[in-house]
Structure 1
Amino acid sequence: MLDSFNARKVGLLHEAERRGSFTRPTKIQHLITDSSQPLVLPPSPYSTLPIEILDCILHYVQSQNDLCTVAISNKRLSAVAIRSLYHTIKLCKPVESVKCLRTLSQNSSIALLVRSLDIHWPYISYPTQNLYTLAIRALCNTSLLSTLRIDVPPDFHPWDLSGCSFRLKKFSASFPCDKSLIRFLEAQPSLLDLTLRGFNSDPAEFSFNLNTFNLNPNPIPFTLSPDALPCLTRLRAIHAGPDIIASILKGRPVNQISMPLYADCVCRSLNVLNLSSKPIERLNIISFDPNAPVYLLDEIADRLPDLEALHIVILLAQCSEALLEALAPSLKKFKALQYLTYMSATSSDDVSQDDEQNIAAMWHKSCPTLKTIILPMGKVWFIDNFKWTCLED
């Protein structure tokens, strides 16, 4: 019986070897029999790279179409590509906006992938109630959102974000500075960066004449709770007057601010900058006072001598070469100023490049800590080997 089993076994092995010799592809047979050639295996249909590496790679893919192609090309890559695709969203065109918002409002798992959402509809003059309702539903689903920007016309339906559960770090909106905005800000304890582009007075009351330009002549009261926005470090108040800025700055660690200056409240606006719990390091100013070139730099230096960066844009006024030279003594008051921008309308006899170089050297002599200067002609000057050089050179 044992001899019969062994004979049967040999026969089966011989038959298997004979059949394998006919079915084995020639190329693979060659690789197996020739030990001098390296073994080449077909590529795996699944990537062996960690998901974190794939995520970093797809982060550099800027085209939305390319990300969509990656999402449908491979089952393993699909989830990573979709996460990148929905991480940052900017909505501009109405049709595309509606499609995206509908997806976010109907698919909670995709809505949870969104970290930054920018709704940019400045030209939708007559929005429908349905569009507003759709946007609110989508925002209520994006509970892990950290950055939100909303730019809509003044006649857009008032936004009610009270049903949203996200905790933002950056918020920018064109909302009117009213009570509804206050309620929303008081519900955002993690906010670090705030941009307010809305007005807080009736546009019919705006004041315009040859001597002044004021967008907030009769501001609506804007009072934040003392416990609100405990982490805020950066404020951009594009049209706000001193009352709003004071309410936001008081007792909060804001060290970077952008603000307008209106002719009838310049001193009040500058005085509130000392209400922050931390010294202001960076200040951006847009001045609407025709007399600003004469006094503004001096007034800022008296209040904020420890500034590191100062950027001033003067509207409704002109700066001659003589006036720019006369500002040098004011710069002596700054102790740590490194970056200075002083933009304005120029006089009829525009300041030449050689004149700007001389002014930059004069300003640096008054304030030795200066590293970069931008003068009214818009050229960037920096010090190189003890000589002030234009970036265009």
Structure 2
Amino acid sequence: MSPHTEFTHSPPDLNLPNETLIAVFNELSPTTLADIAQVSHRFNAVAEWILYSSVYITDTLTDSSPVPLKTLRWCESMQRKRYLTQVLRKLHIRWQADPRTSPSQYLMNSCERVADVVSLLTPLESLELFLGPANYSSPRPEPIHVIERIIHGCKFSQLKSCSLGADWTKGAQPYTSHLTTFLASLPTLRHLKLPDHHSALDLPPEALPHLSTFRGSADTAASLLPGRPVQYLSLVGQDSDVNRENLPRMTCTTMPIRYLDLSAMSVRPMLLRNVSTYLPTVESLRIRLALRHTLHYSFSGIRLLAGLSTVLSAFQQLISLDLSPTEVDGVGRADAVEELALCREWGRGCPSLRRIIFPSQTEWLLDSDGVWISVQT
């Protein structure tokens, strides 16, 4: 068929099932999809369905552009095309600002626009809202966190993943009971992130029955984990926030915690010893060591990490140890000989260990013959 052949009957796209069009269009960039939407009404409907089913928006706020323009344009589009509110499944909005930028007094108005749209998105399955400096951008008529202004009264019966937060500074408006009410209304939630929530959550015992992963502060984790099947835990804050009062409560899950991520804090050996005491069944451990607090630079390089041997031996089921978030001058440089020596030493103390990533980003794997092999990542 000549490329210049003209169709005198139905356009070719009408002969293809929607499933085929969706499979093809899913491989295209948003820019290409926008062009294809101009071809026909049917192409427009399929392309729109794909473009609006997953929305990822990042707005950078500056003194010259103090409002989230991308977010506001999306809000306007959703208000014009209300039928798209039943299409959207994933909504991720992130506002970020340069530390030198003054919080805009107009951000509250932007939050109200977002709230109007989010309340319509009842089929949502994934929601991420990180609103940068909006929580302390202007006076408030009532004491309520800016995130709560958006989620208050929303009903998401199919939500599986939720991440909520804003920039935090001392004296910023904390969360209130509105957050607790919202979380208690999410029967299908499995993944939860609350990076700027710093206190206990007073949830009813029957709430969040399927929660499997959590990222947040130690105090929030200690109140949230008991009685729930959380297996993946990521803690934020200072390592001193994790203490012998809240750490034992984190162990009261209905499923053993298998994955522990401590890369968002500088971890000293004392915390690792406490973790090994209360969470000996961890299989994957990711940490950012605070070597500068406990060790000094020497010509022995990463052999300074040998002190972890006694701590690691307390983990009975540890398979993967990831030290890549650790960044210390002189300690993090690659040295295959010293890394291999540590792999062997740690392997003897922790026989279940099969994978180690060092601060140098070099990954070591234990093969079926019991030999450690390096893989540069």
Normalization by structure 1: what TM-score?
A: 0.75
Match runs of 1:196-345 below 5 Å: 196-200=194-198, 219=199, 222-237=201-216, 240-242=217-219, 244-260=220-236, 261-263=238-240, 265-286=242-263, 292-293=268-269, 295-315=270-290, 317=293, 321-342=302-323, 343-345=325-327
Long gaps (5+) in structure 2: 2-6, 60-67, 141-145, 167-173, 296-300
Deviation track 1:256-304 (CA, whole Å, cap 9, x = no partner) reads 11013532643334322212111101011147567x23x3333322222
Number of residue equivalences: 329
The structure with the greater share of residues assigned to helix is 1
Q: Give 1:108 deviation, angstroms.
A: 1.9
Find 1:390's aligned residue among 353, 362, 374: 374
Supply the distance in 2 between the matched residues of 1:111 and 1:264 (Cα, whole angstroms).
41
Partner amino acid for 2:130?
Answer: D
Supply the distance in 1 between the matched residues of 2:192 and 2:38 (Cα, whole angstroms).
38
Corresponding position: 1:140 with 2:115: no
Q: Give 1:307 deviation, angstroms.
A: 1.6
Supply the distance in 1 between the matched residues of 2:115 and 2:20 (Cα, whole angstroms).
34
**Which stretch shows the higher mean deviation, 185-194 or 41-50?**
41-50
Supply the distance in 2 between the matched residues of 1:129 and 1:296 (Cα, whole angstroms).
40
Deviation track 1:340-382 (CA, whole Å, cap 9, x = no partner) reads 1134344646663321121012212222322210123332222
- Secondary structure of residue in 2 paired with 1:311: strand
Partner amino acid for 1:304?
Answer: L
Q: Structure 1 residues 386 and 135, CA, compared in 2 at 3 Å: closer, same or farther?
A: same
Supply the distance in 2 between the matched residues of 1:287 and 1:106 (Cα, whole angstroms).
41
Q: Give 1:114 deviation, angstroms.
A: 0.8
Corresponding position: 1:171 with 2:150: no
RMSD over equivalenced CA pairs, Å: 2.7
Q: Give 1:116 deviation, angstroms.
A: 0.7
Partner amino acid for 2:364?
Answer: W
- Secondary structure of residue in 2 paired with 1:132: helix
- Secondary structure of residue in 2 paired with 1:313: strand
Would you say the 8 A contact 1:90–1:118 is kept in 2? yes
Would you say the 8 A contact 1:177–1:222 is kept in 2? no
Corresponding position of 2:65: none
**For the pair shown, which has the larger CA radius of gyration, 1 or 2?**
1
Supply the distance in 2 between the matched residues of 1:344 and 1:318 (Cα, whole angstroms).
13
Normalization by structure 2: what TM-score?
A: 0.78
Supply the distance in 1 between the matched residues of 2:361 and 2:308 (Cα, whole angstroms).
18
Q: Structure 1 residues 367 and 128, CA, compared in 2 at 3 Å: closer, same or farther?
A: closer
Supply the distance in 2 between the matched residues of 1:347 and 1:390 (Cα, whole angstroms).
22
Find 2:82's aligned residue among 108, 113, 121: 108
Deviation track 1:153-202 (CA, whole Å, cap 9, x = no partner) reads 232572322332223211111154432221211111211100011143xx
Corresponding position: 1:187 with 2:185: yes
Find 2:91's aligned residue among 92, 117, 122: 117
Supply the distance in 2 between the matched residues of 1:349 and 1:370 (Cα, whole angstroms).
22
Supply the distance in 1 between the matched residues of 2:221 and 2:175 (Cα, whole angstroms).
11
Supply the distance in 2 between the matched residues of 1:271 and 1:377 (Cα, whole angstroms).
33
